[in-house]
Chain A
Amino acid sequence: MIKTFPKGGIHPQDHKLSATSEVVPLALPEVVTLPVSQHIGVPATVIVKPGDVVRTGQVIAESAEFISASIHSPVSGVVVRTDDFVEPSGLRRTAVLIRREGDDWVEEVDRSPELVESFSMSPMEIRSRIARSGIVGLGGATFPAQVKLAFDPRKKVEVLIINAVECEPFLTCDHRLMLEKGPEILTGIRILMHALQVERAVVGIEENKPDAIAHLRALAAPGPGIQIQPLHMKYPQGSEKQLIKAITGREVPSMKLPIEVGAVVFNVATVFAVYEAVQKNKPLVDRVITVTGPEVARPGNFLVRIGTPISALIEAVGGMPRDTAKVIAGGPMMGKAVKRLDAPVTKGTSGLLLLPERLSYREEASPCVRCGRCVSVCVMGLEPYLLAALTNKQMFERAEGEGIVDCVECGSCQWTCPSHRPLLDFIRLGKVTVNKRIRARAAKI
């Protein structure tokens, strides 16, 4: 049976232009810039100094904090300096600049391409290996992976959910990874099942990827426990709460984690990174990124070292089409426009979307016509028009009561609004302000 989440959602055209392009390793960059904060949580502390010679896979920044992730050098070379470097948003943040000299890996990493299926590590060992490998959620949220494995022991995990939905239009990196690294991904799922001590895993895939569904089904068939679940195409199915609802029928309570309903969710690319970390001892130094766009000459999927400048990826697809007006990091729905092309790709970059002039600008907003479409598409059952108005009028107390913090920022309301009202712009601002107020209140008590 094909499932989906019941409330709201939209159906944008999927534009999977690069679905048939095999993943190609991108030429190694001459320099890499590695921001110390590529994850949610505490930024890592740099442990190398200018002039240090580093090898590929060596730790260059780490943190003792619980919610944080180490950063490893994605190339071998010389540390130039640690300084404030420009990020895709145009802001400057602490980053390490490394000039590449060859590609000399640390010895511990097994670089052979053979599939290793058997593993003997204990759940604790798996968790510490994942923590040491700097793995974060590669779907875009960049939540440190080991934290999801370290939950309150009184709570019981019933199901491991693998997010292979890829509901964002244009992106195909997870799709290609499933086709090309199927056995590795299934081994990764078994590792995570062992780490969580859970008997059941469900891989959620949208039905626009029938080849991936068939491929993983054939691979998973012999063993018990892993179920491949096709899902109807609907955005935002890749949102954690919506995926859990679609697969288990359970609803994650407001301000709570999926563990409350017995579920733990990992993105399929994260699962592959876990496989590489546990079986090959390879830290997270590269990831698959889709580079695409309606006018792009050769849209494709690339295996890219973290820290590679965005411009290098654009070169790889045949350069920027002539009338490109906007480059988006991520998908068209939730991605953010890139301000500077010399900024690096980070662990959370799943795609680059090059948009021509005609698709780059917003339509002019007109007054709300009270059609209620935003309310009917909201997957969290909120009233976007109201939340936006309350934020605009600075009525944050009421916005909090209306559940503004539950917004998943999927942008469905703004996408569907016939008056092109900037609903999410205001809701996001209101959410940040309300969250600040909640924190201030908590600090006072």
Chain B
Amino acid sequence: MTLILYSVLVLVSLGLLSAVVLYWVSRKFYVFEDPRIDQVAGLLPGANCGGCGYAGCRAFAETLVKREDMGTLFCPVGGNAVMLTVAQALGREQAPQEPKVAVVRCSGSFEHRPRTSVYDGTRSCAVLHLLYVGETDCPYGCLGCGDCVTACAFGALRMDPQTGLPVVDEDRCTACGACVKACPREIIELRRRGPKNRRVFVSCVNKDKGGIARKYCSVACTGCSQCVRVCAFDAITVSRHLAYIDPDKCRLCRKCAPVCPTNAILETNFPPRAVTQ
């Protein structure tokens, strides 16, 4: 009987002692955390993709709360809707940003850019890029191993077996930029979605001279500058034998695409052109 009594007493006193110690420690080492951080983190999508430039959604929430204004902070996954609710929760102003989308700037499909060697190493663009020029002769174009597809956390990219090039699913793409970082050849660019998802861009990053580029790819930009001449808004610049259309200046007039001798300029989501007789 006494044995049970002793045990109960010892355990109860141990419990009480621990409670006191724990209470004291929790008061002594209390760290104040802004409750808004949890609130903002709850509003963010929780994808932890790093598209905002921070380590994850919580790190982004901490930064948002700490900063006085919204600045250029933006969650590409949640987009304007999420940023607006975050701004409201923090009692700040948020100017809507134009949504972006990833575009693949290479059109060198099997048909346009013949394969001249076989690569049977690891299916990784980063590894292949270290080794040699790739299966085609183009030192700038898509390597086709799909590092971007692996990097995409939203399932917005897939490799097209017909062309050997990645295809972006515009509905799923959040413009987090993971694919941009994963591509060793810097082919993928984040461009503004544009009105009705309409965009005009040069689908090539080849900086070789025109004659050389044309030898291994029939849809390479040769830097011929014909597009520059027809552009009424000075949106197109050519440097190192490569044209670039500035999305801020481009007015989507569609004059450049038809004059491109190699069809390197792509137009997306436009209605088909009227056939002129």
| Chain A contacts with B in 340-393, Cβ cutoff 8 A | 361-362
| Chain B contacts with A in 227-274, Cβ cutoff 8 A | none
Contact residues in B for A336 (Cβ distance below 8 Å): 131-132
Tell me if A425 and B139 are in contact (CB < 8 A): no
Q: Complex Cα distance A90/B137, Å?
A: 7
Report the 7 A-B pairs with minimum CB-CB distance, sorted nearest first: A90-B133, A89-B132, A422-B122, A425-B122, A425-B127, A362-B120, A91-B133
B residues with CB within 8 A of A: 116-117, 120-122, 124, 126-127, 130-134, 137, 139, 208, 212
A interface, size bucket: 10 to 19
Sampled A-B contacts (15; CB under 8 Å)? A84-B212, A89-B132, A89-B133, A90-B134, A90-B137, A90-B139, A91-B132, A91-B139, A92-B208, A92-B212, A339-B116, A422-B121, A425-B124, A425-B127, A429-B127
Tell me if A428 and B208 are in contact (CB < 8 A): no
Q: Complex Cα distance A89/B130, Å?
A: 10
Q: Which residue of B lies closest to A90 (CB)?
A: B133
The distance from the CB of B55 to the nearest CB of chain A, in whole angstroms, is 14
Tell me if B122 and A426 are in contact (CB < 8 A): yes
Tell me if B126 and A429 are in contact (CB < 8 A): yes
Contact code string A75-114 (vs B, CB < 8 Å = 1, else 0)? 0000000001000011110000000000000000000000
Q: How many A-B residue pairs have CB under 8 A?
A: 46
Contact residues in A for B122 (Cβ distance below 8 Å): 422, 425-426
| Chain A contacts with B in 393-422, Cβ cutoff 8 A | 422
Contact residues in A for B134 (Cβ distance below 8 Å): 90
Q: Complex Cα distance A84/B127, Å?
A: 24
Tell me if A426 and B127 are in contact (CB < 8 A): yes
Contact residues in B for A425 (Cβ distance below 8 Å): 121-122, 124, 127
Which of B132, B134, B139, B208 counts the most chain A CB atoms within 10 A? Answer: B132
- Tell me, yes or no, whether A257 is within 8 Å of chain B by CB: no
Q: Complex Cα distance A440/B212, Å?
A: 35
Which of A361, A362, A422, A425 counts the most chain B CB atoms within 10 A? Answer: A425
Tell me if A339 and B117 are in contact (CB < 8 A): yes
The distance from the CB of B53 to the nearest CB of chain A, in whole angstroms, is 17
Which of B121, B127, B130 counts the most chain A CB atoms within 10 A? Answer: B127
- Tell me, yes or no, whether A218 is within 8 Å of chain B by CB: no
Tell me if A339 and B132 are in contact (CB < 8 A): yes
Q: Complex Cα distance A287/B2, Å?
A: 97
Contact residues in A for B130 (Cβ distance below 8 Å): 428-429, 432
Given contacts A92-B139, A339-B117, A426-B127, could you give 19 more A-B pairs where the C-beta distance is less than 8 Å?
A84-B212, A89-B131, A89-B133, A90-B139, A91-B132, A92-B208, A336-B131, A336-B132, A337-B117, A337-B132, A339-B132, A339-B137, A362-B120, A422-B121, A422-B122, A425-B122, A425-B127, A429-B126, A429-B127
Q: Complex Cα distance A337/B121, Å?
A: 12
Tell me if A362 and B121 are in contact (CB < 8 A): yes
Which of A89, A90, A336 counts the most chain B CB atoms within 10 A? Answer: A90
Tell me if B133 and A361 are in contact (CB < 8 A): no
Contact residues in B for A339 (Cβ distance below 8 Å): 116-117, 132-133, 137
Q: Complex Cα distance A254/B117, Å?
A: 37
Contact residues in A for B120 (Cβ distance below 8 Å): 361-362
The distance from the CB of B135 to the nearest CB of chain A, in whole angstroms, is 10
The distance from the CB of A397 to the nearest CB of chain B, in whole angstroms, is 14
Q: Complex Cα distance A254/B204, Å?
A: 43
Contact residues in B for A362 (Cβ distance below 8 Å): 120-121
The distance from the CB of A101 to the nearest CB of chain B, in whole angstroms, is 27
Contact residues in A for B212 (Cβ distance below 8 Å): 84, 92
Q: Which residue of A lies closest to B116 (CB)?
A: A339
Q: Complex Cα distance A84/B206, Å?
A: 14
Tell me if B132 and A428 are in contact (CB < 8 A): no
The distance from the CB of A399 to the nearest CB of chain B, in whole angstroms, is 14
Tell me if B139 and A429 are in contact (CB < 8 A): no
The distance from the CB of B129 to the nearest CB of chain A, in whole angstroms, is 9
Contact residues in A for B124 (Cβ distance below 8 Å): 425-426, 429
Contact residues in B for A428 (Cβ distance below 8 Å): 127, 130
Contact residues in A for B127 (Cβ distance below 8 Å): 422, 425-426, 428-429
Q: Which residue of A lies closest to B119 (CB)?
A: A337
Contact code string A143-167 (vs B, CB < 8 Å = 1, else 0)? 0000000000000000000000000
Q: Complex Cα distance A425/B126, Å?
A: 10
Q: Complex Cα distance A422/B120, Å?
A: 10
The distance from the CB of B151 to the nearest CB of chain A, in whole angstroms, is 10
The distance from the CB of B110 to the nearest CB of chain A, in whole angstroms, is 18
Q: Which residue of A lies closest to B126 (CB)?
A: A429
Q: Complex Cα distance A429/B127, Å?
A: 6
Contact code string A424-445 (vs B, CB < 8 Å = 1, else 0)? 0110110010000000000000
Q: Which residue of A lies closest to B151 (CB)?
A: A394
The contact of A90 among B121, B126, B132, B208, by CB within 8 Å, is B132
Contact residues in A for B131 (Cβ distance below 8 Å): 89, 336
The distance from the CB of A445 to the nearest CB of chain B, in whole angstroms, is 23
Q: Which residue of B lies closest to A428 (CB)?
A: B130
Q: Which residue of A lies closest to B134 (CB)?
A: A90
The distance from the CB of A414 to the nearest CB of chain B, in whole angstroms, is 10
The distance from the CB of A260 to the nearest CB of chain B, in whole angstroms, is 29
Q: Complex Cα distance A76/B139, Å?
A: 32
Q: Complex Cα distance A428/B116, Å?
A: 24
The distance from the CB of A19 to the nearest CB of chain B, in whole angstroms, is 30
The distance from the CB of B239 to the nearest CB of chain A, in whole angstroms, is 17
| Chain A contacts with B in 257-275, Cβ cutoff 8 A | none
Q: Which residue of A lies closest to B121 (CB)?
A: A425
The distance from the CB of A268 to the nearest CB of chain B, in whole angstroms, is 29
Q: Complex Cα distance A148/B148, Å?
A: 43
The distance from the CB of A431 to the nearest CB of chain B, in whole angstroms, is 10
Contact residues in A for B117 (Cβ distance below 8 Å): 90, 337, 339
The distance from the CB of A130 to the nearest CB of chain B, in whole angstroms, is 31
Contact residues in B for A361 (Cβ distance below 8 Å): 120
Contact residues in A for B121 (Cβ distance below 8 Å): 362, 422, 425
Q: Which residue of A lies closest to B136 (CB)?
A: A90
Contact residues in A for B208 (Cβ distance below 8 Å): 84, 92
Q: Complex Cα distance A84/B211, Å?
A: 13
Q: Complex Cα distance A90/B116, Å?
A: 10
